[in-house]
Amino acid sequence: MIRRFPFLSRKLQPPSVRHPALLQRWKKSNFSCALWAPSSTVRSLATGTVAGHSSDDDPSLSDNRQLERVSVQRSDGEMRWRYYKGFPDGRQELPTYVRQLGPAVLANPHINKGTAFLWSERERFHLRGLLPARMVSMEDQTDRVVEEFREGAWDKAARDPNDEMVSAGLTPDNIRKWEYLTGIQGQNETLYYRVLLDNFEEMASVVYTPTVGWACMNFSRMFRVARGMYFSSRDKGHMVSIAYNWPSHEVDAIVVTDGSRILGLGDLGMNGMGISIGKLDLYVAAAGFHPARVLPCVVDVGTNNDKLLEDKNYLGLNQRRLEGEEYLQVMDEFVAAVKARWPKVIIQFEDFRTEYASKLLERYRHHHLCFNDDIQGTAATALAGIYAGLAAMDRPYSDIRHLRFVVCGAGSAGMGVVLWLFKAMEKHGAGPEEAARKFWILDADGLITTARGDSFDETTRRFARPEGGDELNDGANVEEVVTKIRPEVLLGLSGAGRIWSPETITALAEGTERPLIFPMSNPSHKSECSAEDAAKYADGRGIFASGSPFEDVTYKGKVLPSNQSNNLYVFPGLALGAKLCQATLVTDGMIMAASEALASCNHPEDLVKGRIYPGLSDVRSISARVAAAVMRQAHSEGIATHPKAVAVMDREARADDNGEEEDDAKRIVGGVKQTLLETYILNQMYDPVYAPLAYVPPGVLE
């Protein structure tokens, strides 16, 4: 509720309200009202209502008054809100008295200023952390609205032949669908998630990759309604108190990014918030997290993207990125703040650049419940695809130790996949040296060999090939390596676009009967090859899986599946399992269990056709199976702490030991046998339906 009061009481009203003849005497007095004058710079007294609004108190105001806009600059450099002066009677804007704090202020269209809230107002109304760091004026907002009105983001992109998302194949229809769904989400979350859940297979590519890439690139330009929390290096020393500006006392999952490496689009700074929002939409739809208990976050430490720094619409900090110890201190404070506010929350690190992704994961994973999706989620999904590919060839999972891998991309995601495949080989009996010899890794400079010395971290050096070994020198290109090695698997996590030539794919197919072709870079135009190229140059014999979606390909009258090796198969279920059993950590064993569970979701008839990832029409059943495997592994490692979840797992184990097939131990759903634990997990998932509502007065049940 808001009301406009010229002053607190009639005694404090200006004489013009009670008697115009007293106006001059009252104006000569030294009285001032600090309630509505936020700084010493703006102390002139207001004697009327809001400019442009009618006044019941003083009908004598002329309708043709002229307004003079004045900018007020504080000594500390903060830009104050524009105000009006120059009325014939000295009137000026009076404050609106607000009885709300935090998100309620942003949700009220009568008082919301969006990113134009002053820093002092953000502090006073508990808005700090709920808006991007940059403060803009109303004139800036007006210019942005008019610009968008006259030419939308899509129209502007379509005029630019170098626009990345246009070249990726994104269409106006993708943007239309995204904007419409986003509008529904802002008005009715229950309806939004009902629609998304019921049409997940169709809509996943709109709310996530590849459309989410466009949403991130245009995040500042399209900013409408604040969602999530915006921490920045400017908040250093205050993050714990800022975390309490979020109204919910219960948050189960946080996805956080620093925007430094969004998909394959590079440094997008604060605009990376779009990926945190998109990921958590999948947490809700795919894994049944409650939308009121997930929190997208961005830690804005600046950007090295010159285009953003020069963009007047960019809402992030206009500074170069923090580096080194200064950067790590900001991240340390963020993690400490959210864990202090929500001790049981699971944190997913998303799209951090290579220099810090592994460093941050190792910094926190042994003490906090967290994981990095780019490193661990991508690796788990890739391993599941390799396992399923072996199953499609009627080979056991243990044969992974005999496969040879050529990997393009030595960043955090690429090396995360390599390390995970290496661990799978060790699990199936390969020694460390034997497993390491199965990899040929290429970066932007070509094949990595020992000739580069100590220019890489310890993990990458472990897989460096001997200089001159296999008759390949340092820097050999992918075609040379594939032609010489004849691997069974070609993996791409380079983000470099179409770097696999027809000759490369043909050489791969000549060396094995069913080559596994995995161009996993995102978005689609960053993929190392297309599904059509893989089908054509591998003569239709390859098993194809990409990071972003491609249409199935018809080759010589046969439909070849274009599988999508998408992390959404793993990270929602992984987070759900860790949350439901209240695991204290996310261990390698839990992630390995997630890989094997995902691989087991494929039906034999699909594997025969080369379809190595399950359909998404029943994505929650997939997440439930992944979550169940994660929970069982956590229980076996002694880190599952939720009593009820532990009791269910113990009961299920006893039933399995006794060979029981009780109705309450297993049931058939959709032709698939569902375990007791999977049933328990599905029952814990949020179901987007309209619930009965009851009014509770303030202070009751709080």
pLDDT-derived band at 169, boundaries 50, 70, 90:
low
15 close to 5: Cβ distance less than 8 angstroms: no
Judged by phi (left if over 0) then psi (alpha if -120 to 50, else beta), residue 97 lies in beta
pLDDT of res. 165: 66
Residue 586 one-letter amino acid: V
Give the other-Cβ count within 10 Å of 171's Cβ.
Answer: 13
The strand pair at 489-492 and 405-408 is best described as parallel
Residue carrying the six token digits 């005029």? 159
**Comma-separated ranges of CATH 3.40.50.10380 domains in the chain:** 142-371
**Residue 97 dihedral angles phi and psi, to the nearest 5°:** -80, 125
Judged by phi (left if over 0) then psi (alpha if -120 to 50, else beta), residue 526 lies in alpha
Q: What is the CA radius of gyration of the chain?
A: 29
Residue 123 or residue 156, greater confidence: 123
Residue 87 one-letter amino acid: F
Query: At residue 538, does pLDDT exceed 50?
Result: yes
Mean pLDDT of 154-182: 76
pLDDT-derived band at 375, boundaries 50, 70, 90:
very high
pLDDT of res. 469: 83
Q: Distance of alpha carbon 251 from its chain centroid, rounded? A: 16
Judged by phi (left if over 0) then psi (alpha if -120 to 50, else beta), residue 395 lies in beta
Query: At residue 335, does pLDDT exceed 90?
Result: yes
Query: At residue 518, does pLDDT exceed 80?
Result: yes
CATH topology for 376-565?
Rossmann fold (3.40.50)
Query: At residue 533, does pLDDT exceed 90?
Result: yes
pLDDT-derived band at 360, boundaries 50, 70, 90:
very high
- CATH architecture of the domain covering 142-371: 3-Layer(aba) Sandwich (3.40)
The strand pair at 97-98 and 2-3 is best described as antiparallel
pLDDT of res. 520: 93
In the numeric block, which tokens belong to residue 69?
Answer: 């806009």
Rounded Cα distance between 84 and 66, Å, is 10
In the numeric block, which tokens belong to residue 687?
Answer: 């179901």
Give the other-Cβ count within 10 Å of 593's Cβ.
Answer: 23
pLDDT-derived band at 617, boundaries 50, 70, 90:
confident
Residue 289 or residue 15, greater confidence: 289
Top CATH class, 569-684:
alpha beta
- The mean pLDDT value of the chain amounts to 85
The angle at the Cα of 193, spanning 104 to 626, to the nearest 5 degrees, equals 120
Residue 351, annotated as binding a ligand = yes
Listed residue (50, 47, 45) closest to 34, CA to CA: 45
**Comma-separated ranges of CATH 3.40.50.720 domains in the chain:** 376-565, 569-684
Query: At residue 56, does pLDDT exceed 90?
Result: no
Listed residue (410, 638, 427, 612) closest to 521, CA to CA: 410
Print the SS3 string covering 206-220. HHCCCHHHHHHHCCC
Residue 546 exposure: Cα atoms within 13 Å on the Cβ side: 26
Residue 350, annotated as binding a ligand = yes
Query: Looking at the annotation, which residues are catalytic?
Result: 208, 279
pLDDT-derived band at 456, boundaries 50, 70, 90:
confident
Residue-wise pLDDT tens digits, 305-328 = 999 999 999 999 999 999 999 999
pLDDT-derived band at 55, boundaries 50, 70, 90:
very low
Query: At residue 65, does pLDDT exceed 50?
Result: no
**Residue 440 dihedral angles phi and psi, to the nearest 5°:** -125, 110
Q: Distance of alpha carbon 532 from its chain centroid, rounded? A: 30
pLDDT of res. 163: 67
pLDDT of res. 446: 94
Residue 538 exposure: Cα atoms within 13 Å on the Cβ side: 30
274 close to 212: Cβ distance less than 8 angstroms: yes
| Crossing angle for the helix pair 571-580 and 619-636, to the nearest 10 degrees | 50
Residue 374, annotated as binding a ligand = yes
Query: At residue 92, does pLDDT exceed 70?
Result: no
In this structure, the dihedral spanned by the alpha carbons of residues 567, 572, 577 and 580, taken in order and rounded to 10 degrees, is 170
pLDDT of res. 60: 31
Residue 470, annotated as binding a ligand = no
Listed residue (548, 510, 557) closest to 529, CA to CA: 548
Sign of CA dihedral 522, 525, 526, 531: positive
Residue 273 one-letter amino acid: M
Provide, rounded to the nearest whole percent, the portion of the chain with pLDDT above 70: 83
- How deeply is 165 buried, as exposed, middle or buried, from its count of CB atoms within 10 A (0-12, 13-18, 19+)? buried
Residue-wise pLDDT tens digits, 432-441 = 999 999 999 9
